A and B are shown apart, each in its own frame.
Chain A
């Protein structure tokens, strides 16, 4: 191996260590028998004690369920609104207020979450006083707030997919007699679906681990999982949080690995088919 190879490998190793040692140590300590998170109890470890404790903890499980509901709902809302915004920005040509809309939909990407949170809270309170809706803060307000800030991500993803999309496809459908609505549902939507799905997943993840905004707009009994973890950690890290985090990391890792393998397979299949097509007779 030459010098550059050695250098490259050590950089790679350092990078990976930097990223993953914290996570690995957390997973490691989730099997620790000790009550103290950072003290390894060599005699009685490894143990699944904290995993058992975790599944007996109604509060944490409830919070996880709330988080899943909010993430799924807000991701779906964001996917719909984000797709519409992406469509309007790429397909409707230059219209009055286009630049403003473009800036405004993507502003939450750079807006500090604290400010978004306060703004949302003030809005909800004012709305409640004026029209009585939304009554109190809870699941609904968190979902709405999450739609607002995750929509920007969906918009960006969908917009970039639409920009690389051959306009002639839609024109061809129109030319073949399809009305604009049919064109959207039969041609545009199926073709941008991958972008919408990845936008949905992104929105889901963002909503899933949001603490700051949720903190502002949540009410009694609507603590999301990250909020619950956060409040527990303030009282001192307990080992069942390690167990919970390990499970979450495993779920996410499985999902990512599975989708990567699937996408690689699809791509290889496609390349193969294209090669076969080229070698065919014209």
Chain B
């Protein structure tokens, strides 16, 4: 496996204050982003968040109402899709049904006026890369979903674009194939060194593929960061809630020191002690977010001390690799806890058992917005 080379100095794609309006509706709202050469950047968000519109503006199918898009330093304003150094892989794959696989892949090169022998060489090379060499003469309807996806990829990559845009690249595949294809896609990207911009609504897909993720909501980019940053250090309640699952408690700062804070939550019997400082006004309303896997759960009747609460198990979902517990706290709130099933013969905690939940002072994330 080749190592991904991300050139952090090279802001290959720059989106500067781009806004797109459709009538009164603001699809993309003043988005600014820099994407580096060689990275896989994922735009992640729910449906209608503007991610696809942003992608279509990069491809040239929509033009921004205001703002600029620069690819490799070149302003894209007024440049039609067929003159952009960008290729796109469509969600529906958009393979030309009346052409063979080879003709589909060759189409882009023919438009460039590449010589026949050269086209044939590059097409067969590309088809070998996506392991479809023997399918060159088939028509798209003679292929399975995974094969079609790879034809679409080959067709977009054969032109050696500066930027490859992928619209929900794995959306149409079933779960097993999807996992397999994710890693293939990453390998391919590392091998060819093309910069990928991926649009997806699937957080798992974004987490596995991306070197960085931009989370979008209502036309705006709410957070940009590596998958770890987005998951462990969400900057808002929206991001914390959108990526993975989270237990969120509303509370007030009762002690605010540079090295730690204490928070009083109405739903929790104990105070929350967090071992890092935050920037918020004293006595401000804050939200404490704790991921389910960061909570320790033990049998026990009484909870003592900070970061420790008691409750009763109300629901259990056994998933094989881990189990999800819903615990009703003594104050009435439900809390989600996930426990990995490490031991096969372990006597697991069962319904209606009294448990004590505990977490490390470094685990909670304190959010002010």
A residues with CB within 8 A of B: 166, 168-169, 171-179, 182, 186-187, 190-191, 270, 273-274, 276-278, 280-282
Contacts and interface: CB of A to CB of B under 8 A. Distances in A.
A230 B112 CA distance: 59
B143 A168 contact: no
Given A176-B155, A182-B111, A168 B90 contact: yes
A153 B34 CA distance: 52
B67 interface: no
A278 B144 contact: yes
A44 B251 CA distance: 108
Given A171-B90, A191-B97, A282-B147, 11 more contacts: A168-B91, A172-B90, A175-B87, A176-B107, A176-B155, A176-B156, A177-B108, A182-B111, A274-B142, A277-B143, A280-B144
Contacts of A169: 94, 96-97
Interface string B68-100: 000000000000111110111011101111100
Secondary structure of the B contact surface, majority rule: mixed
B146 interface: yes
B337 to A, nearest CB: 37
B155 to A, nearest CB: 7
A282 B80 contact: no
B353 to A, nearest CB: 44
B61 A171 contact: yes
A176 B108 contact: yes
B141 interface: yes
Given A176-B155, A280-B144, A190 B98 contact: yes
B344 interface: no
Contacts, number: 86
B82 A177 contact: yes
B159 A191 contact: no
Interface string B125-159: 00000000000001101111111000000011001
B94 A168 contact: yes
A168 B92 contact: yes
Nearest to A182: B111
B303 to A, nearest CB: 50
B111 A177 contact: yes
Interface in B244-278: none
A193 to B, nearest CB: 9
B111 to A, nearest CB: 4
A174 B90 CA distance: 12
B90 A282 contact: no
Contacts of A270: 141
Contact of A174 (B81, B91, B112, B141): B81
Contacts of B230: none
Contacts of A278: 144
A278 B82 CA distance: 33
Interface residues of B, number: 37
B143 A178 contact: no
A191 B90 CA distance: 18
B28 interface: no
Interface string B87-124: 11011101111100000000110011000000000000
Contacts of A168: 90-92, 94
A243 B94 CA distance: 52
Nearest to A193: B98
Contacts of A276: 142
A281 B84 CA distance: 35
B92 A166 contact: yes
B177 interface: yes
Nearest to A166: B92
B243 interface: no
B94 A282 contact: no
Nearest to A183: B82
User: Which of the listed residues B61, B94, B95, B141 has the most CB atoms from chain A within 10 Å of its own CB?
Assistant: B94
Contacts of A280: 143-144, 147
Contacts of A172: 88, 90, 94-96, 155
A118 to B, nearest CB: 44
A175 B81 contact: yes
A191 B139 CA distance: 14
Nearest to B111: A177
Contact of B96 (A174, A182, A187): A187
Given A168-B94, A190-B98, A273-B141, A173 B107 contact: yes
7 contacts: A174-B81, A175-B60, A175-B88, A175-B156, A176-B82, A176-B111, A176-B159
Nearest to A276: B142
A184 B274 CA distance: 63
A177 B112 contact: yes
Nearest to A179: B82
Nearest to B181: A282
Contact of A176 (B87, B139, B146, B180): B87
A33 B352 CA distance: 99
A216 to B, nearest CB: 42
Nearest to A176: B108
Contacts of A176: 82, 87, 107-108, 111, 155-156, 159
A179 B112 CA distance: 11
B335 interface: no
A273 B140 CA distance: 10
Interface string B163-185: 00000000000000100100000
B59 interface: yes
Most B C-beta atoms less than 10 A away, residue of A166, A168, A172: A172
A281 B147 CA distance: 9
A281 B146 CA distance: 9
B82 A174 contact: yes
Contact of B147 (A166, A273, A277): A277
A36 to B, nearest CB: 56
Contacts of B159: 176-177
